Amino acid sequence: MIKQMGIIGCYSETEGFGKIKTDFGEEVLFYRTGILNGAELKTGLNVSFELHQTLSVAINIQVIDQSGITQK
């Protein structure tokens, strides 16, 4: 799968899902189960992710800091 970049557009911890705005202007749905390393997500964070081809949802979501390095 190809890594894509985007920004968290919205996320509800209570409901367990949110949307990522991709670099191409599309919105991709994601679920809490797609977040790697238990990262805390909030609106405006830069993330990398893969698109699940069958379900068309973001998976393997990782927070990226401002210098482009993946946060652990």
Q: Give residue 52's domain range.
A: 3-63
- Residue 11 · residue 43 · CB < 8 Å: yes
Residue at 72 is within a domain: no
Return the pLDDT at 48.
94
Return the pLDDT at 66.
52
Q: How far apart are CA 57 and CA 39, in angstroms?
A: 18
The per-residue pLDDT for range 7-65, each reduced to its tens digit, is: 999 999 899 999 999 988 899 999 998 888 878 888 999 999 999 988 889 999 999 87
Q: How many domains does the chain have?
A: 1
pTM: 0.81
Return the pLDDT at 38.
78
Beta bridge partners of 54: none
DSSP 3-state of 27: strand
Residue at 68 is within a domain: no
Residue 13 is part of a domain; what is its CATH number? Answer: 2.40.50.140
